[in-house]
Amino acid sequence: MGLDPIPRGSADYPRQSELLGQLSPDIDQAAQARARKFNWRIQPAGDTALNLLGLSTQVPALKALGKEHIDAAVVEKLRQWLDPKLRARLLRDTRMVTSWIAS
């Protein structure tokens, strides 16, 4: 069954940022809208569920990308996104994660 990523009418009006202009739709809001349309229930699973429950502090996004997809562009994007004040904390928090994620 082929479903388009974000069908018309599945998301709220685009959000605006003074700095960035029009922002992309919030993927969680779009997913919830689609779930309502088809009477589905969405439940987080795996690492995301553990993170939401506070049972894990690992960020599932890097693991989901996979080691083979982490390149200099991804690292640079993360470097720009991460507040410099939080970098030391992140380094402390990653001491116990999978070695390639810590690197």
- Domain positions in the chain are 1-42, 57-102
- The answer to whether residues 42 and 35 touch, using CB atoms and an 8 Å cutoff, is yes
Q: Which amino acid is at 8?
A: R
pLDDT at 3: 54
Predicted TM-score (pTM) of this structure: 0.41
Statement: residue 10 has pLDDT above 60: no
More confident residue, 35 or 13: 35
Distance CA 48, CA 61 (A): 9
Q: Find residue 21's DSSP bridge partners.
A: 17
Residues with Cβ within 8 Å of 26's Cβ and at least 6 positions away in sequence, in order, are 11, 12, 15
Percent of the residues in the chain that have a pLDDT greater than 90, as a whole number: 4
Distance CA 95, CA 103 (A): 10
Q: Output the average pLDDT for the chain.
A: 77
Query: 23-56 in b/e burial notation, b at 16+ Cβ within 10 A?
Result: eebeeeebeebbeeeeeeeeeeeebeeebeeeee
